[in-house]
Amino acid sequence: MFRHLLCPIDGSPLSCGAVDKAVALAREIGAELTFFYAKSDPGSLLHGESELSRVMDPEGYAARAEAHARSILSEALAAAEGVRCQAIAVSAGEPYEAIIATAEQKCCDLIVMASHGYRGVKGLLLGSQTQKVLLHSKLPVLVYR
């Protein structure tokens, strides 16, 4: 059925749950698994980092973003022991676009991801990368909540 799964992650507890589900599914069906992390675009803020810090030390900011991505992906790879998998980090202004592009480039046939489930005003203001993937992807998407 599915041969190659893409699991976008962001390091949140909900995302860690999606890792567990994706690993279990890949193991059960014998699929390859690719973990994906969208690194903060240099024009955005890294997890609350101040604008001043980003502007004053762009190289340091980029190095911290890279280290953060490596840490999150390493944890996912460790959780997937025994499953054929790889990890990719991509700089992205719009994570949903990078998720879809990576899934297509890697010939994935299913995207497995978490949804934070923001609703109401918070959902409108923050938007949802999961909703955007669901709206724009031509591939099937399995959402974990």
Question: What pLDDT is stored for residue 44 in this prediction?
Answer: 53
Residue 84: which CATH number? Answer: 3.40.50.620
Number of domains in the chain: 1
Residues of the domain holding 79: 4-144
Is residue 108 within 8 A of residue 34, CB to CB? The reply is yes
- pLDDT digits 0-9 by tens, 40-83: 665 554 455 556 666 778 788 888 889 999 999 999 999 999 99
Beta carbons within 8 Å of 31's beta carbon, 6+ residues apart: 2, 3, 4, 5, 25, 110
